[in-house]
Amino acid sequence: MHITLRIWRQTNPAGPGRLVTYELSDVTEDMSLLEVLDLLNLQLARNGEEPIAFDSDCREGICGSCGLQINGRPHGPLKGVASCQIHMRTFKENDTITIEPFRAKAFPVVKDLVIDRTAFDRIIQAGGFISVNTGGAPDANAIPIPKNTVDAAFEAAACISCGACVAACKNASAMLFVAAKVAHLGRLPQGEVERKERCLSMVAQMDAEKFGACSNTYACEAECPKEISVDNIAFLNRELLRAKVF
Amino acid sequence: MRPTVTVYGSSIGQKIISAITGLFLCLFLVVHVSGNLLLFKGDEGKAFNEYVIANTNSLLIRSIEIVLFAGFLIHIFWGIRVWLFNRRARPLDYVENRPSENSSLPSRIMFITGMLVILFLVVHLRTFWIAMRFTGTGGLSDYELVQATFQSPLYDSFYIVCMAILAYHLRQGFQSAFQTLGLRPIWRRAIDWVAVIFWLIIPIGFAAMPVYFLIKGAS
Amino acid sequence: MELNSRIPAGPLVEKWDSHRFNLKLVNPANRRKYHIVVVGTGLAGASAAATLAELGYRVTSLCYHESPRRAHSIAAQGGINAPKNYANDGDSIYRLFYDTIKGGDYRSREANVYRLAQVSNNIIDQCVAQGVPLARDYGGLLDTRSFGGAQVSRTFYAQGQTGQQLLLGAYQALSRQIGMGNIVFYPRREMLDLVVIDGQARGIVVRNMINGQIESIACDAVILATGGYANVFFLSTNARMSNATAIWRAYKRGACFANPCFTQIHPTCIPVSSEHQSKLTLMSESLRNDGRIWVPMIKGDKRDPNLIPEVERDYYLERIYPSFGNLSPRDVSSRRAKEVCDAGFGVGPTGKAVYLDFRDTIQRNGREWIKEKYGNLFDMYRQITGENAYETPMRIYPALHYTMGGLWVDYNLMSTIPGLFVLGEANFSDHGANRLGASALMQGLADGYFIISYTIGDYFASNKFHKVDTSHEAFRTAEKELKSTIDRLLGIRGKRAVDDIHKDLGHIMWEYCGMARNAAGLKKALEAIPSLEEEFWRNVSVPGRTDDLNQELEKAQRLIDFLELGKLIAEDALHREESCGGHFREEHETEDNEAKRDDENFSYVAAWEYRGPGNPPKLNKESLNFEYLKPSQRSYK
């Protein structure tokens, strides 16, 4: 099939960037969109032109490296998948596909489609953990945990840290990301001890990273490749109130 | 030691303030629309006039009014503050963006609907409240003032459109406030039903007034 | 070179305990004086960095990803083994030890594997304490499932994302130490050289992938936890960036490379669909519990599979292995699939696939039953292939998945370079010639949480350290060499992209050094790779600049090493005149076409030693002694 790509190119963080149009004709339906970018890059490299820089690694939707705004939506038109899982059969002959980086002040563009999401790591470093040193753990079955508690914690913990929630939010808010971690650890008995401290430190870091506030549009939930629920955001709000007021 | 959070220092805290004041204003709407129902009593405004006078003379109501004003100001001030804060979070926008695929329109235009509601508020206070309370109604009774004002189709259209905007604002705002206050998911359904009162029934209640007086004037 | 495995004396069950007692300790107050660099942040690297920082060492951690949490451990699906015996089904440390040695086809060390089985229980405790949401039953206790190569239920899991959840546990422990200032962390740094001074590993040289700066880090010990090298085959289930550069460059600085030819092929992957394919996706092995594998009896049969009548289908695994059938081990199933496809019975557009058919199970138990068990896998299959596996059989084909080989390490996980420790998939230690399912996560975390923390202290306490900083001549020389290599790459300005050449290498490796190998093919590979290497240095095109994010340059660097490593793999495969585990030599098979080991002549670890450019590597042998288990021939009939 024949495809027109409009891809954001930006040489350095300071910008400016612009959309550049590329035409590709030997695309097949079973290629993934990232393989189309690979193909384009092969052609550019063979001609000595600089290929398009983009992050991607596992290509099975779990490492969270790939984060592209595809046709105006984070991770493209399909629900519950990451950019690497978009295949060309999703598109039609002669379609134009626009690809931009995720945009937020907290996610500066490094080059082309590559962004810097280390703000997320700093939020986790601020408190997204349970303080247990290696070696001192009791037997794994010492505390029984209800199955639905663990399942709810797991669903929150499935976050891949891709940043689609921030990209989708009109305020570039990181609430879903932070809430997922606060809910994952806060729901479990192991996380109980540091519950208050964790929530406060992570929220402080989130604000320091210049993410916006939550407007409850729920765009994050709609675009999350792991379909993490905004119920976690309510959980986070509750935790903050609990920690500060009650 | 890392920076710690205060309720109004944090982004979540700011939203909590917006949510609490918003819900307080919702409460006011209930009181306001119930009082206004007296307009439909068909007694040529007797009950309504008495109600307005009683309100004006009640020290309690006058004190609550101050709180109400404060509620409005805080809600507006914090709304603008959060909006400015949020705007800084994405300095460069997407070339192509399709937010309609992932979120509802009311949820995305809260600031715009909020601003329009302020505009309405200014006009509305000027027309009714300031006249009734301070500058005088030019010899008309309070009921007659309402009736006279709603004779203008232009004013009525403005009023009805504003109620639609208010409805839009509350469509998102009411349930959003509960989410911000950390409502547990099991209550969400119930809140969605209660929300209908605020985004549908109350705005219709208000919008019914100009329609009523227009029809009444014509007949 | 004399290989000293440092396996402690004494009875098997007491070796680790007595060894820990005999290891020298570093006083807590003195630990700050030692600086350790940990390369890689997967399960092994993150757990090691966090644990060592908790102990009080100064730790620098780095990875080539943007975030430590993106390491490829994250993609592991199935689970992690531990003989907790919660299922009360007769499991024990000794049984896990036995299964792992047997599964590895008797090519691993008894002492190492026993220790692995011992500490694996602690891993589960540690992870649960960190908040890893492992699956639980309705009573609130941990659930387990069974996995290939074992008759007990000892695999702990978190849905199909066990690797992700365990890695997040380790990542959170790492993040905590970074937040506390005990670890200095650098993202987007790729290690390009190891610096050895006075015979000790004293630092590394990295490239800052954002601005292209070549940076040096001096330290007292280096830990490599950089994963496996399956991407030498270009197409594998490994992540795109997974590479051999760190271990290969350590090899060139004197660390022996052990058993490079021990590579594992996973039988159930989604087949290659076009020449543009960038990587392969694994479908969990558990599907073989309820799916039947077959090919048409007529060569090149292009009919819709649902229209092929029962009598014209060859359920070849059930036919050849009546007792194990579709659940035959990974290596065996893979080889049989290759055979039928090579003979022309393969299906799909490329003819390189076999059917995995759920028709009978769906007829018996219903579609919902299958959906509940495997729904996410069927969804994934549909996303990638666009086909509905409820209605038409899945097409599967084996793919490269894991590499058992790696840098040689002693019982302390130290390589042949003093001060260079190697953990996880990057070392060769525990899986012999074939790894069992759910054992990779176990080994990575055992190395990182519970082994290195003891053994590295002994190294510090037993050696003297002169003060070394990055102004040392050795760093200057290494930096200069790297810069000139980079300039050379950018200056070639040839006609072929890096991936063009990498794909060629992949074809050679897969064809001659893949599932089934023979001397003639391996010799062909040993001729073809050098000429490809020559073409690379003459005709590769690496556009862009040095002082910038340059992904083509990154790939080119990695390909240099894959080309060299490919030769060593072929060399090792050629020298190992036997079949064992993942290494199958067609000349060495039993009458039933099964792998035929030669314990007489090959019961050893082949540790290859680099002897400078142009010189053939030297083979060192560490013989394997089985005191407790008697090597026997595997049979699955």
Query: End-to-end CA distance of chain C, in Å?
Result: 42
For B90, the closest of A103, A238, A239 (CB atoms) is A103
The domain boundary, picked from C361, C385, C401, lies at C401
In a domain, B42, yes or no: yes
Closest listed residue to residue A62, CA positions, set C558, C437, C281, C446: C281
Interchain pair A58, C386: CB under 8 A? no
In a domain, C540, yes or no: yes
User: Within the 16-75 window of chain A, which residues sit less than 8 Å (CB to CB) from chain C?
Assistant: 28-32, 34-35, 38-39, 41-42, 44-51, 53, 55-60, 62-65
> For residue range C231-274, what is the model confidence (pLDDT) as tens digits?
999 999 999 999 999 999 999 999 999 999 999 999 999 999 88
Chain A environment of B2 (Cβ under 8 Å): 126-127, 201, 204-205
Which of B133-147, C423-437, C605-619 is predicted least confidently?
A: B133-147
In a domain, C610, yes or no: no
Question: Between these two residues, C323 and A122, which has the higher pLDDT value?
Answer: A122
Q: pLDDT at position C331, please?
A: 81
In a domain, B6, yes or no: no
Whole-structure pTM value:
0.96
> For residue range A188-241, what is the model confidence (pLDDT) as tens digits?
999 999 999 999 999 999 999 999 999 999 999 999 999 999 999 999 999 999
Element (H, E) at C354: strand C354-357
The DSSP-derived string for C139-175 is TSSBP-EE-TT-SSEEEE-STT-HHHHHHHHHHHHHH
When pLDDT is averaged across residues C88-112 and rounded to a whole number, the result is 95
The amino acid that residue A120 corresponds to is: F
Q: pLDDT at position B4, please?
A: 61
In a domain, B135, yes or no: yes
> For residue range C9-59, what is the model confidence (pLDDT) as tens digits?
999 999 999 999 999 999 999 999 999 999 999 999 999 999 999 999 999
Residue C377: CATH number of its domain: 3.90.700.10
Taking the C-alpha atoms of residue B163 and residue B199, their distance in angstroms, rounded to an integer, is: 10
For residue A68, the SS3 value is strand
Contact C310/C372 with Cβ under 8 angstroms?
A: no
Chain CA centroid to CA A21, Å = 26
Chain A environment of C496 (Cβ under 8 Å): 46
In angstroms, the separation between the Cα of residue C489 and the nearest Cα of chain A is: 12
Residue A181 neighbours by CB under 8 Å, 6+ apart: A123, A124, A128, A156, A157, A159, A202
Contact C202/C440 with Cβ under 8 angstroms?
A: no
In a domain, B157, yes or no: yes
Give pairs for C383-387: CB < 8 Å, separation 24+.
C383/A81, C383/A85, C383/A87, C384/A32, C384/A85, C384/A87, C384/C270, C384/C281, C385/A30, C385/C270, C385/C273, C386/A29, C386/A30, C386/A87, C386/A89
C-interface mutation test, from A30, A63, A107, A190, most C Cβ less than 10 A away: A63
Taking residue C602's Cβ as centre, other Cβ atoms within 10 Å add up to 21
B-interface mutation test, from A96, A124, A195, A207, most B Cβ less than 10 A away: A207
In a domain, B94, yes or no: no
Scored b (16 or more CB within 10 A) or e, B134-173 reads: eeebeeebbbebbbebbeeeeebebbbebbebbbbbbbbb
Measured CA distances, B28 to B31, B65, B202, C42 (Å): 5, 10, 11, 56
ipTM of the complex: 0.98
Write the DSSP symbol of residue A138.
P
Interchain pair B89, A172: CB under 8 A? yes
Element (H, E) at C39: strand C35-39
Q: How many independent structural domains does chain B possess?
A: 1
> For residue range A160-184, what is the model confidence (pLDDT) as tens digits?
999 999 999 999 999 999 999 999 9
Chain A environment of C175 (Cβ under 8 Å): 121, 124-125, 128-129
Question: Between these two residues, B133 and C553, which has the higher pLDDT value?
Answer: C553
Range of the domain at C387: 266-401
C140: which 2 tokens?
């609130």
Taking the C-alpha atoms of residue C186 and residue C216, their distance in angstroms, rounded to an integer, is: 12
Contact A128/A185 with Cβ under 8 angstroms?
A: yes
A-interface mutation test, from B5, B10, B100, most A Cβ less than 10 A away: B5
In angstroms, the separation between the Cα of residue C550 and the nearest Cα of chain A is: 8
B103 touches A at CB < 8 Å: yes
Residue B35: CATH number of its domain: 1.20.1300.10
Q: Please report how the helices A175-187 and A147-157 are oriented relative to each other, as an axis angle in degrees rounded to 10.
A: 150
For C129, the closest of A53, A65, A190 (CB atoms) is A190
Mean pLDDT, chain C, as a whole number? 95
In angstroms, the separation between the Cα of residue A216 and the nearest Cα of chain C is: 27
> For residue range A48-65, what is the model confidence (pLDDT) as tens digits?
999 999 999 999 999 999
Taking the C-alpha atoms of residue B1 and residue C179, their distance in angstroms, rounded to an integer, is: 10
In a domain, B38, yes or no: yes
The domain boundary, picked from C384, C401, C418, lies at C401
In a domain, C494, yes or no: yes
- pLDDT over 90 for what percent of chain B? 84
Residue matched to tokens 């603008």 = B80
When pLDDT is averaged across residues B15-33 and rounded to a whole number, the result is 96
pLDDT at B3 over 70: no
Q: What is the CA radius of gyration of chain C?
A: 24
Q: HEC profile for C372-423?
A: HHHHHHHHHHHHHHCCCCCCCCEEEEEEEEEECCEECCCCCCECCCCCEEEC
Residue B29 neighbours by CB under 8 Å, 6+ apart: B198, B202
B partners (3+ CB pairs within 8 A) are: A
In angstroms, the separation between the Cα of residue A188 and the nearest Cα of chain C is: 7
Taking the C-alpha atoms of residue C450 and residue C465, their distance in angstroms, rounded to an integer, is: 25
Taking residue B62's Cβ as centre, other Cβ atoms within 10 Å add up to 12
Taking residue C392's Cβ as centre, other Cβ atoms within 10 Å add up to 16
User: Within the 154-213 window of chain A, which residues sit less than 8 Å (CB to CB) from chain C?
Assistant: 154, 157-158, 160-161, 184-185, 188, 190-191
Q: What are phi and psi of C76, to 5 degrees?
A: -65, 135
Closest listed residue to residue C221, CA positions, set C335, C387, C436, C52: C52
pLDDT at C77 over 90: no
Q: Chain B residue closest to A106 (CA)?
A: B89
Q: What are phi and psi of A29, to 5 degrees?
A: -60, -35
Write the DSSP symbol of residue B125.
I
Q: pLDDT at position C243, please?
A: 98
Contact A240/B10 with Cβ under 8 angstroms?
A: yes
Contact A128/A68 with Cβ under 8 angstroms?
A: no
In sequence order, what E strands does chain A have? 3-10, 17-24, 68-70, 73-74, 96-101, 109-111, 114-115
Residue A64 neighbours by CB under 8 Å, 6+ apart: A82, A160, A161, A162, A163, C67, C69, C70
Q: How many independent structural domains does chain C possess?
A: 2
Ordered by where they begin, the domains of chain A are: 3-111 (3.10.20.30), 118-244 (1.10.1060.10)
Which of A49-58, B176-185, C368-377, C501-510 is predicted least confidently?
A: C368-377
The amino acid that residue C485 corresponds to is: T
The DSSP-derived string for A86-118 is -BGGGS-TT-EEEEEE--BTTB-EEETTEE--H
Beta strand pairing call for C80-81 and C58-62: unpaired
The domain boundary, picked from C339, C367, C401, lies at C401
| pLDDT tier, B5 (very low <50, low <70, confident <90, very high otherwise) | low
Partner residues linked to C314 by β-bridges: C295
For residue B6, the SS3 value is coil
pLDDT at B1 over 50: no
Taking the C-alpha atoms of residue A166 and residue A128, their distance in angstroms, rounded to an integer, is: 18
In a domain, B82, yes or no: yes
Taking residue B187's Cβ as centre, other Cβ atoms within 10 Å add up to 12
Contact C193/C182 with Cβ under 8 angstroms?
A: no
Scored b (16 or more CB within 10 A) or e, C37-57 reads: bbbbbbbbbbbbbbbbbbbbb
Residue matched to tokens 């998911």 = B185
Q: Chain C residue closest to A62 (CA)?
A: C75
pLDDT at C494 over 70: yes
Taking the C-alpha atoms of residue C448 and residue C441, their distance in angstroms, rounded to an integer, is: 11
Element (H, E) at C266: strand C263-269
Write the DSSP symbol of residue C483.
H
Q: pLDDT at position C373, please?
A: 76
Contact A212/A157 with Cβ under 8 angstroms?
A: no
Residue C375 neighbours by CB under 8 Å, 6+ apart: none
Closest listed residue to residue C519, CA positions, set C439, C585, C456: C585
- pLDDT over 70 for what percent of chain B? 97
Range of the domain at B59: 11-86+105-218
Q: What are phi and psi of C611, to 5 degrees?
A: -130, 40
In a domain, B58, yes or no: yes
Q: Chain B residue closest to A174 (CA)?
A: B89
C270: which 2 tokens?
């989604």
> For residue range A114-146, what is the model confidence (pLDDT) as tens digits?
999 999 999 999 999 999 999 989 999 999 999
Mean pLDDT, chain B, as a whole number? 93
Shared-domain flag, residues C290 and C392 = yes
> For residue range B208-218, what is the model confidence (pLDDT) as tens digits?
999 999 998 88
In a domain, C636, yes or no: no
The dihedral formed by the CA atoms of B181, B185, B187 and B188, expressed in degrees to the nearest 10: 90
